[in-house]
């Protein structure tokens, strides 16, 4: 049981390049989330999805796009990377809040934009 | 976007000491959660609180849901070296999103 798997674990991009971060979960969770973590700022929500085929903006969505074509996968795209997007990105999945509430996080993707 | 205020920002303690940290908000939350993040890993859920005034324990950890629903507290008793990490609170209202605190970094010295 892998839980939440993120790929890649590390990446260095040049300004203006594009890339996609992949998140896969094997727990049949409906809800999936992308967060970024920056020093002293905790975790900030970028985009999230409440089910296959749905996406919604979080608090810092600019410069990112997402897709949830399959229930188990949630992709985060950077169309034109900027140095301000240097961060650690975490994916999380969760169940309905009427059940055992709480997210399961992946181990993160460390992205550096130079 | 709103973030929760956690204090202290960092703590340096000796093994065996007790630890207290808290999280405050200007808004009411219906659920409070506490996570721990080990270096190089994602956060892991420690304790979930669902009712105002609720006190819940998980081993040496005890967390409380504040009566005002605007704050929560986490205590760690008899700290050990593996308690090192960043502790995050998170609050949730009626939507499906969690709002995270800024984190408390804990260092434990032998």
Q: Can you spell out the DSSP letters for A28-53?
A: --SEEEEEEEETTTEEEEEEEESSTT
What does the pLDDT read at residue A98?
52
pLDDT score of A114: 97
Average confidence (pLDDT) over A40-58: 91
The answer for B9, left when phi > 0, alpha when psi is -120 to 50, beta otherwise, is: alpha
A100 has pLDDT over 60: no
The bridge status of strand A10-13 relative to strand A31-38 is unpaired
Task: With beta carbons less than 8 A apart as the criterion, state whether A74 and A66 touch.
Answer: yes
Token reading at B21: 């940290």
How do B5-7 and B19-24 pair as beta strands? antiparallel
**Mutation for testing the A interface, residue in B94, B98, B105 having most A CBs under 10 Å:** B98
Q: Which of residues 19-38 of A touch B (CB under 8 A)?
A: 31, 33, 35
Predicted pLDDT of residue B63: 97
How many CB atoms are closer than 10 A to CB A7?
12
Q: Does residue B108 or residue B1 have the better pLDDT?
A: B108
Percent of chain B with pLDDT over 70: 95
Name the pLDDT band for A1 (thresholds 50, 70, 90): low
Average the pLDDT over each of A79-83, B91-95, B104-108 and give the range with the smallest value: B91-95
* Minimal CA separation from A58 to chain B, in Å: 8
What is the pLDDT at residue A97?
A: 53
- A36, A20 in Cβ contact below 8 A? no
Q: pLDDT band for position A96 (50/70/90)?
A: low
Average pLDDT, stretch A66-93? 96
Phi, psi of A85 (to 5 degrees): -90, 5
Of residues A20 and A42, more confidence is placed in A20
- pLDDT value of position B1: 57
pLDDT of residue B95: 62
Tell me the count of A-B CB pairs closer than 8 A.
Answer: 63
How far apart (Å, rounded) are the C-alpha atoms in residues B79 and B34? 17
**Lowest mean pLDDT, pick from A38-42, A56-60, A77-81, B32-36:** A38-42
Q: Are strands A10-13 and A109-113 parallel, antiparallel or unpaired?
A: parallel
Decide if pLDDT at B94 tops 70. no
Helix/strand/coil for A35: strand
pLDDT score at B98: 83
Give SS3 for A43: strand
């Amino acid at each position: 049981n892998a839980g939440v798997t993120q790929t890649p674990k590390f990446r260095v991009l040049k300004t203006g390049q594009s890339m996609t971060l992949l998140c896969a979960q094997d727990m049949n969770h409906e809800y999936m989330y992308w967060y970024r973590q920056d020093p002293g700022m905790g975790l900030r929500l970028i985009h999230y999805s409440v089910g296959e085929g749905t996406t919604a903006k979080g608090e810092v969505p600019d410069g990112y796009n997402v897709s949830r074509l399959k229930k188990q996968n949630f992709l985060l795209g950077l169309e034109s990377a900027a140095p301000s997007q240097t961060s650690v990105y975490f994916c999380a999945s969760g169940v309905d809040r009427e059940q055992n509430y709480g997210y399961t996080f992946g181990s993160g993707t460390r992205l550096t934009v130079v | 976007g709103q973030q929760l205020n956690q204090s202290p920002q960092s703590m340096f303690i000796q093994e065996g000491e007790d630890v207290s940290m808290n999280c405050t908000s200007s808004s009411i939350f219906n659920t409070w959660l506490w996570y721990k993040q080990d270096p190089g890993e994602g956060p892991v859920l420690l304790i979930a609180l669902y009712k105002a005034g609720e006190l819940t324990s998980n081993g040496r950890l005890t967390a409380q849901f504040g009566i005002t629903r605007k704050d929560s507290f986490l205590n760690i008793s008899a700290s050990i070296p593996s308690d090192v990490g960043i502790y995050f609170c998170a609050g949730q209202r009626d939507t499906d999103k969690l709002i995270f605190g800024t984190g408390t970094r804990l260092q434990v010295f032998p």
